[in-house]
Amino acid sequence: MSTFDLTKSSVRELNAALHTLKDDTNDTLWSVLNPNGEHSIAAGVDAAVAINVQGSVGYFCGGMNKRANIVVDGSAGQGVGENMMSGRIHVKGDASQSAGATGRGGLLIVDGNASARCGISMKGIDIIVKGDVGHLSAFMGQNGRLVVFGEAGEALGDSIYEARLFVRGPVAGLGADCIEKPMRDEHKAELIELLAASGQDHKVDVAEFRRYGSARKLYNFNIDNAGAY
């Protein structure tokens, strides 16, 4: 195992080392000590390695992640997993706003709560939040899935495209063009698959979730709304 202590080395040095990793590397286990809320930890990793960050992190941890399995043993600041391509990020605490923003693939798990705009402009990422999410979560969500075990704030799924939302708790309000949809058997099977990926398949009843998605009324120009343009 490679160990980086961020009281002795910089985030720049850590990321530079991670960026040199190749597919045939034997250096697949990494431990990051004393992160102390530093920003951009393990950003831009493109290797099938496991990175354990032992503490809370600042902005954009795991940004642009590709293939790495990153565990944050603490909470995460703004934009954890932003523009994530693949791999897995697991935050064992809470996440600040814009978790998983513009994510194109992979899986982001937040054991606690996620703040506003969780999954904003998501483009294929799967996000599982075991607590609550704040307002405007999945705003302009284009593709991917957001699963919320707790409550959702105002304007959930505002201006949503084809992202799929599953929420177990109350929703304070739905955004423009976001509606509740029937929870059919194929959606329950999809949710069971996601819960299994998060390690919660045996603890959560999928029948408790409701499904939300696009009403598809904003896709085309409507002459009746011309005055608003």
Closest CA to 110 of 78, 132, 85, 143: 132
Q: What is the pTM of this model?
A: 0.95
Summarize pLDDT for 40-87 with one digit per residue, the tens. 999 999 999 999 999 999 999 999 999 999 999 999 999 999 999 999
Name the one residue in this structure whose structure tokens are 């530079």: 16
Dist CA 56 CA 91 (whole Å): 9
Q: Which tokens is 48 given?
A: 């099938």
For residue 224, the one-letter residue type is D
Is residue 186's pLDDT more than 90?
A: yes
The alpha helices in 42-138, defined as continuous H runs, are none
The alpha helices in the chain, defined as continuous H runs, are 11-19, 185-198
Dist CA 90 CA 81 (whole Å): 10
Quote the DSSP letter at residue 41: T
Summarize pLDDT for 120-173 with one digit per residue, the tens. 999 999 999 999 999 999 999 999 999 999 999 999 999 999 999 999 999 999
Name the one residue in this structure whose structure tokens are 């099938």: 48
